[in-house]
Structure 1
Amino acid sequence: MKGAAEQDGGTWAVFADPRADFDGKAACGSPETVNALVENGREKADKESPDVSMQSLHPKIAGARIYADTLEHTLRKP
């Protein structure tokens, strides 16, 4: 994604990299800001196999805040 955003071609796209902000806080981190494998709270669209929810590996509220903070920080850069 970073390469696509930086390609010459008149694009106004910028790349906001949240990886440093997630260090030690992603799935199984402390605090965990991304769901690890979730086996409860399954949605109607979830299939029978594998037995994990589609919520697995998606950000929790705190993870969504990290993404938002990263975007806001990137947009404030001159």
Structure 2
Amino acid sequence: MADHSGFNSVAYAMLEDITKALGASVESFFGADAQASKLAMTNEMLSLWLSLKSDENRAVILKMVRAAIAAQVD
């Protein structure tokens, strides 16, 4: 099993579930290539999300992310 020091067990378990669904390894979330970097950022986002304590804070974050997506230029 990979060393997951620095991650809480809930975040790591969620990461394992995501990697299984993607057919990837946990290790693929970390590394120098662009895909691994994106996956590492996804892991960080999930860890931060799990750290939010209130529904109000989650609603604020969702609103910000939705606005950022809407503002993207293809």
Q: TM-score, normalised by structure 2?
A: 0.27
Q: Which structure shows the bigger proportion of residues in helix conformation?
A: 2
Which one scores higher on RCO, CA 8 angstroms, separation ≥ 6? 1
